[in-house]
Structure 1
């Protein structure tokens, strides 16, 4: 599956877990367990609780995703 196949959703970080995982609430009230995407990790962009983020989710597994953008 390529990056073009991922669905991007807007959401808000609800909680920050250990080992770099985040619980993100997306539209419709669904919870997604997300990690930082490669470029976010490489550039050391910090994500905290309450931040608005964009999450890339696979259509095959909508419960896990990657945080690809943090809005300002």
Structure 2
């Protein structure tokens, strides 16, 4: 498990829905990452649609993948 301090958190917009609860997210800086839903969001049945504003958590080791941790209302 990685430390919370090592995680990079950025805001982005969901631009595409992929199979297996994966999403393509465009970050504020223009990069596009593939992200999956965090366990708490899955547990509470939080739906994510194309166009939603989300917070994405990434590790500094692989900046092409991430975890969606929050959906902005």
TM bucket by the smaller chain? over 0.9
Count of aligned pairs? 72
- TM norm structure 1: 0.95
Task: Quote how far apart the aligned CAs of 1:64 are.
Answer: 0.3
For each residue in 1:29-72, what CA deviation from the matched residue of structure 2 results, as whole angstroms up to 9, or x when unmatched? 10010000010011110000000000001011010000000000
Structure 1 segments (4+ residues) deviating >4 Å: none
* Structure 2 unmatched runs, 5+: none
Q: Which residue of the partner structure matches residue 56 of structure 1? A: 57
- TM norm structure 2: 0.94
State the distance in 1 between where 2:65 and 2:8 align: 12
1:29 aligns with 2:17: no
Considering only aligned residues, what root-mean-square deviation do their CA atoms show, in Å? 0.8
Which has more helix, going by share of residues? Answer: 1
